[in-house]
Amino acid sequence: MNISLPEALKAFVDQQVSGRGFGTSSEYVRELIRKDQDRQYLRGLLLDGAASAPTEAVDAGYFDSLRDRVRRRATK
């Protein structure tokens, strides 16, 4: 795959590559694509949650019990 960029965008990508430790512009673009995939996935989860039926109010006790369940599963 080849991508053509205007000089201003190419300069920006080159700056990001050198300033953020990427080896190549391809690594930088792959990272951007992965982050976009993550954002789209999270957005889908949020929309699914917003469309779901309301539940009981969630308080500190709920999260405490959730943490306890996770800890118990981790020790099995």
Q: What share of the chain is helix, strand, coil (3-state, %, to 5)?
A: 70, 0, 30
Residue among 40, 46, 14 nearest 28 (CA): 14
DSSP 3-state assignment of 27?
helix
Q: What is the pTM of this model?
A: 0.68
Distance CA 28, CA 31 (A): 5
Distance CA 15, CA 4 (A): 17
Structural Rg of the chain based on CA atoms = 21
43-64 pLDDT per residue, tens: 999 999 999 999 888 999 999 9
For the chain, percent of residues with pLDDT exceeding 90 = 91
